[in-house]
Amino acid sequence: MPAEYRFDSLYSHGFVRVAVGIPEVRVADPRFNTVRTLSLARSASEADAAVVLFPELGISAYSNEDLFHQDALLGATEEAVQHVIEASQALAPMLVVGAPLRFQGALFNCALAIHRGRLLGVTPKTYLPNYREFYEKRQFTAGRDAVLREVELFGSVVPFGPDLIYRVENVPDLSIHVEICEDLWVPIPPSTYAAMAGATVLLNLSASNITIGKADYRRLLCGSQSARCVAAYVYAAAGSGESTTDLAWDGHAMVYENDMLLAESTRFAPGEQLILADVDVQRLVQERMRLTSFNDAASDHRARVSAFRHVATRFEVPSHAVPLQRTVDRFPYIPSDRARRDERCAEAYNIQVHGLAKRLTATGIQKLVVGVSGGLDSTQALIVAAKTMDRLKLPRTGVHAFTMPGFGTSEATRANAHRLMRALGVTGAEIDIKPSCLQMFRDLGHPYASGATGEEARDLTFENVQAGERTSHLFRLANYHGAMVLGTGDLSELALGWCTYGVGDHMSHYNVNGSIPKTLIRHLIRWVIASGQFDEPASDVLDAIVKTKISPELLPEASGRDGPSDVTERRIGPFELQDFNLYYISRFGFPPSKVAFLARHAWKDATEGSWPEGVRDEDRRQYSLGDIKRWLEVFVERFFQTSQFKRSCLPNGPKVGSGGSLSPRADWRAPSDAVADAWLRELRERVPDAE
| C-alpha gyration radius of the chain | 31
The SS3 assignment for 100 reads: strand
Mean pLDDT lowest among 93-107, 194-208, 330-344: 330-344
Q: What is the rounded average pLDDT of the residues 569-588?
A: 94
Helix or strand (DSSP H, E) at 172:
none
DSSP string, 579-620: HHHHHHHHHH---HHHHHHHHHHHHTTTTTS---TT--GGG-
pLDDT value, residue 616: 55
612: confidence class by pLDDT, cuts 50, 70, 90: low
**Whether residue 181 lies in the annotated active site:** yes
Q: What is the rounded average pLDDT of the residues 60-84?
A: 97
137: confidence class by pLDDT, cuts 50, 70, 90: very high
605: confidence class by pLDDT, cuts 50, 70, 90: confident
pLDDT value, residue 626: 96
667: confidence class by pLDDT, cuts 50, 70, 90: confident
pLDDT at 567 over 60: yes
Q: What is the rounded average pLDDT of the residues 225-242?
A: 97
pLDDT value, residue 666: 84
The CA distance from 367 to 557, in Å, is 36
pLDDT value, residue 563: 46
Mean pLDDT of the chain: 93
The CA distance from 320 to 188, in Å, is 41
The CA distance from 164 to 178, in Å, is 8
**Count of all residues that appear for the chain in the document:** 691
DSSP string, 617-664: GGG-----HHHHHHHHHHHHHIIIIISHHHHTTPPP-----TT----T
pLDDT at 465 over 70: yes
Find out whether 438 and 424 touch, Cβ atoms under 8 Å: no
Task: Give Cβ neighbours of residue 36 (< 8 Å, ≥ 6 apart).
Answer: 23, 24, 25, 272
Q: Which residue has the higher pLDDT, 455 or 49?
A: 49
Task: Please give the model's pTM, rounded to 2 decimal places.
Answer: 0.93
Q: Is 527 exposed, middle or buried (0-12, 13-18, 19+ CB in 10 A)?
A: buried
pLDDT at 572 over 70: yes
579: confidence class by pLDDT, cuts 50, 70, 90: very high
The SS3 assignment for 381 reads: helix
pLDDT value, residue 621: 79
Q: How would you classify the pairing of strands 94-103 and 427-430? A: unpaired
Displacement of CA 287 from its chain's centroid (Å): 11
pLDDT value, residue 336: 85
Q: What angle do CA 53, 54, 59 make, to 5 degrees?
A: 140
The CA distance from 99 to 532, in Å, is 60
pLDDT at 434 over 80: yes
Beta bridge partners of 150: 159
The CA distance from 635 to 582, in Å, is 8
pLDDT value, residue 552: 76
Question: Which contacts (CB < 8 Å, 24+ apart) does range 461-464 have?
Answer: 462/407, 462/554, 462/555, 463/500, 463/552, 463/554, 463/555, 464/500, 464/503
**Whether residue 125 lies in the annotated active site:** yes
The SS3 assignment for 470 reads: helix
pLDDT tens digit sequence for 143-190:
998 989 999 999 999 999 999 999 999 999 999 999 999 999 999 999
Q: Kindly name the residue from 110, 181, 229, 345 that is annotated as catalytic.
A: 181
Domains of the chain: 12-313 (3.60.110.10), 338-686 (3.40.50.620)
The CA distance from 94 to 49, in Å, is 9
Phi-psi region of 589 (alpha: psi -120 to 50; beta: other; left: phi over 0): left
Helix axis angle, 376-391 to 411-424, nearest 10°: 10
Q: What is the dihedral of CA 619, 624, 625, 628, to 10 degrees?
A: -30
Find out whether 384 and 352 touch, Cβ atoms under 8 Å: yes
Q: Write the single-letter amino acid at 682.
A: E
Sign of the CA dihedral running 523, 527, 530, 534: negative
Q: What is the rounded average pLDDT of the residues 93-99?
A: 98
561: confidence class by pLDDT, cuts 50, 70, 90: very low
Q: Which residue has the higher pLDDT, 608 or 585?
A: 585
Q: Write the single-letter amino acid at 228.
A: R
Candidates 365, 408, 409, 405; CA nearest to 389 is 365
550: confidence class by pLDDT, cuts 50, 70, 90: confident
The CA distance from 647 to 655, in Å, is 14
Q: Which residue has the higher pLDDT, 549 or 543?
A: 543
pLDDT value, residue 548: 85
pLDDT value, residue 564: 44
Question: CB count, 10 Å around CB of 521?
Answer: 25
Find out whether 55 and 98 touch, Cβ atoms under 8 Å: yes
DSSP string, 275-326: EEEEEEHHHHHHHHHH-HHHHHHHHHTHHHHHT-EEEEE-----SS-B---S
pLDDT value, residue 565: 43
Residue 131 — φ and ψ, nearest 5°?
-145, 160
Give, rounded to a whole angstrom, the gap between the first and last alpha carbons of the chain.
Answer: 27
Give whole-number Cα distances, 63 to 31, 195, 240, 269, 508, in Å. Answer: 16, 31, 12, 19, 68
The CA distance from 433 to 440, in Å, is 11
Q: What is the rounded average pLDDT of the residues 246-267?
A: 97
Question: CB count, 10 Å around CB of 617?
Answer: 6
pLDDT value, residue 557: 60
Q: Kindly name the residue from 78, 125, 222, 629 that is annotated as catalytic.
A: 125
pLDDT at 99 over 60: yes
Beta bridge partners of 234: 203, 255
Q: Kindly name the residue from 56, 78, 136, 463 that is annotated as catalytic.
A: 56
Give whole-number Cα distances, 673 to 219, 254, 633, 646, 680, in Å. Answer: 47, 46, 18, 11, 16
Candidates 383, 385, 367; CA nearest to 375 is 383
Find out whether 101 and 60 touch, Cβ atoms under 8 Å: no
Q: Is 164 exposed, middle or buried (0-12, 13-18, 19+ CB in 10 A)?
A: buried
Candidates 22, 90, 20, 17; CA nearest to 50 is 17
* pLDDT-above-70 percentage for the chain: 96
Question: CB count, 10 Å around CB of 339?
Answer: 8
pLDDT value, residue 614: 57
